[in-house]
Structures are given as C-alpha cells and as structure tokens.
Amino acid sequence: MFGSNKFLLSHGVTHVIAPKQLLMKLVATFVFIRRILHPYDVLEAQYGSDIRPGGHWFPSRCQPEQRIAIIICYRNREQHFKILLDNLHPFLQQQQLDYTIFVVNQHGQELFNRGALFNIGFIEAKKYYPFTCFIFHDVDLLPEDTRNIYTCADQPRHMSVAMDKFDYKLVYSTFFGGVTAFKTDDFLGTNGYSNVYWGWGGEDDDMYSRVVHKLKKPITRYPIEIARYKMIRSNEHISAPANPHRFKMLRSQYDFKLDGINTIQYRLLGLIIVQEVTANFMRFRRWNEDVFVQHINPQSLISSDF
C-alpha cells in the first residue's frame, strides 16, 4: 500500500517496492478538484461514516507503516478550509494512509504566524498519539496527482514543488514553503519552525536553513510533474503583509536552539473534535523582531501579557 510502500498479497506475503520504483510503476492519476463550497454537515454526511471523530481514517484491509498527522494552519479561511477538506480526505484515502487532520486556528488580531502555528500543531498532535510522520499544510493548496504520496522519507520532503500560481515551476532551488513532510525525529532535530516570523514570508526559508545546517540533511522532492498543486483563490481573503524584517532575520545566522519548539508559549483557548478534523484554537506570545535580529536570547523577549 502507498502508506508504507508495501503491498499485502492474497497469501499474506508483504512485497516491498522502493519509492522511486513505486512511482515509476504508478499510472498518472490526476485528481478531480472539487470546488463547490459545502456546509460542514454535508461534508460530514459525505465522509463521516468512514472517518473517526477528530479526522482520523485508516484502511481496513492493510496495516500502514506510518501514522500521519496533517497539520493545517488557519485563521479566517473557512471557504478555503472547506474546499481543502472536501479534496484532501478522498485524496488521502485513495492512497490508503492512516492519517489524522489537525487544524490550528490563531486567535486574536496579531499578524499571522505560520511557523508558530505549525509548532503548536506538532506539540498538540503528539498528545493524542505518537505519530511517526508530520505533514505541514497550507490551507489553500490542493494536490493534483495521487502519485504525490503523503508519507515521510528519511529526509524532510518538500511536497508542493509545482504550483499553478507559479506556472508549475519551482520558484527557487531552496524554496521550502506550501506543504512539507517530516519524520518526527527530523522535525525535533530542527527544533521546529521559528516562532518570530510575524506576517508573510521568511519562516519557510528559515526552516530550509534548519534542515540543511542544523539537521544536516538534504531535502527531497518528488518530480515536478508529480508534485503539482492548485492554489485556492478567493476575493474575500487578504494576504498578511510581508514581514519587513525577514531578510535581516534570515541573514542573522542565530542559534536555532534559541527559537522553536522549545521556546513556543501559547494558550489553548478551545478544542473542537468533529468527524472531519480536530480543531485547536490558540493564542500565543509575541517576540520583538527588531531586538531578536541582534542575537539577543529570545527567551528574554517574551511578553508577559496575553
């Protein structure tokens, strides 16, 4: 099966196929993108009978090797989120994966912090089960090809190589945004995402540096003709303003041990477990970016007020 690169034969023997061989043997299957905006009760009626509460699904006829947590960062993107759920559940089930979908919702009016939300999702998901694979997913990206298998490799994987927004081309060689996949130990080895990139941009490039320089591993990608995504567009969504400090922060070469999973502080404001997903509502503390880029320990910069 796709989840483990193993196929259980009728007589009970497991045949192992290497990932590259597996991709070559698969016929390209392009996904029909569902764009109709359904209410949650319709989504639950469509998928709920097979999905366990909290967005957990697993195949009944085989035992996947990996148990996967899909972490989605979110705020005020309900239309995108509904469309993503309507597409992602059947996509993952077709790949016969054991997965659970978590959505982490940022509360309050602060600028959006994608990296911190992913860190919180990782921490909260681990409280439910010792997942072996984490996939960090933007809410507005839809996979187009079922050969883009949502599992983790021995190196962190950049999943969203080719987006329609960029004419299905890799934006630049070190691009590591959109959708990424980490084995649990690899994510811990990077100390997670940075918590200090408020607004748009920087946290994905920072994570690339963590993988290469702290974890000391290369990233891996599926071929560009497989790792294709459509971006959901909406006139109602206004992107967060670009982080004006992101380039200074990326050049600062600070110690990654001072910023990440081990320094995130947040408050869990609410938890909703429904059939399609586990939703966490968070508020977390903000660091002063101007001071941070001067190599001061970010622990001393944490605001005391919520």
Q: Phi and psi (nearest 5°) for 117?
A: -65, -40
The H or E element that residue 94 is part of is helix 78-94
CA dist 270 and 267 (Å) reads 9
Task: Provide the β-strand partners of residue 145.
Answer: 30
Q: Are 228 and 162 in contact (CB under 8 A)?
A: yes
pLDDT number for residue 174: 95
Q: Is residue 11 part of a domain?
A: no
**What token pair was written down for 59?**
């195949």
Q: E-assigned strands of 151-275? A: 157-158, 162-163, 179-183, 220-221, 228-231, 266-273
Q: Please, what sign has the CA dihedral across residues 197, 203, 206, 207? A: positive
The C-alpha atoms of residue 265 and residue 28 are separated, in whole angstroms, by: 44
Structure tokens at 188: 């811990």
Q: Determine, yes or no, domain membership for 295.
A: no
Tally of domains within the chain:
1
DSSP assignment of 157-176 equals EE---EEGGGTTB-SSTT--
Token pair recorded at residue 40: 């949650």
Instruction: Establish if 20 belongs to a structural domain.
Output: no
CA distance 225 to 230: 13
Domain-located, residue 304:
no
> How far apart, in whole angstroms, are the C-alpha atoms of residue 40 and residue 48?
10
Give pLDDT, residue 274. Answer: 62
- The whole-number pLDDT of residue 98 equals 96
Predicted local confidence at residue 294, as pLDDT: 36
Which residue is listed with tokens 């009760």? 41
Task: Identify the CA nearest to 264 among candidates 281, 287, 244.
Answer: 287
Rounded Cα gap, residues 99 and 4, in angstroms: 12
Task: Give Cα separations from 76 to 117, 164, 247, 284 (angstroms).
Answer: 14, 23, 27, 17
CB-based contact 250:205 (threshold 8 Å)? yes
In a domain, 79, yes or no: yes
What's the CATH number where 102 sits? 3.90.550.10
User: Max CA-CA distance within the chain?
Assistant: 64
> What are the angstrom distances between the C-alpha of 11 and each of 3, 4, 8, 14, 16?
20, 18, 8, 9, 15
Where in the sequence is the domain holding 154, given as residue range(s)?
Answer: 26-34+50-271
Question: Taking a C-beta distance cutoff of 8 angstroms, is the pair 61, 31 a contact?
Answer: no
Looking at residue 258, the DSSP 8-state letter turns out to be: G
Residue 43 lies in a domain: no
Domain-embedded: residue 290: no
pLDDT given at position 4: 40
C-alpha span between 193 and 203 (Å, rounded): 7
- The pLDDT tens digits along the chain (306 residues) read 444 433 332 222 322 334 555 554 555 566 656 666 666 666 666 666 678 878 899 998 888 999 999 999 988 788 888 889 889 998 999 999 999 999 998 887 788 899 999 999 999 999 999 999 999 999 999 999 999 999 999 999 999 999 999 999 999 999 999 999 999 999 999 999 999 888 878 899 999 999 999 999 999 999 999 999 999 986 565 666 777 777 777 777 777 888 999 999 888 877 766 666 666 665 655 544 443 333 333 333 333 332
Q: b/e per residue, 8-24, with b = 16+ CB within 10 A?
A: eeeeeeeeeeeeeebbe
Examine residue 276 and state whether it is found in any structural domain, yes or no: no
pLDDT of residue 11: 29
Contact partners, residue 71, CB within 8 Å, separation at least 6: 102, 104, 118, 121, 122, 125, 134, 135, 136, 137
pLDDT given at position 25: 55
Q: Return the bridge partners of 14, or none.
A: 8
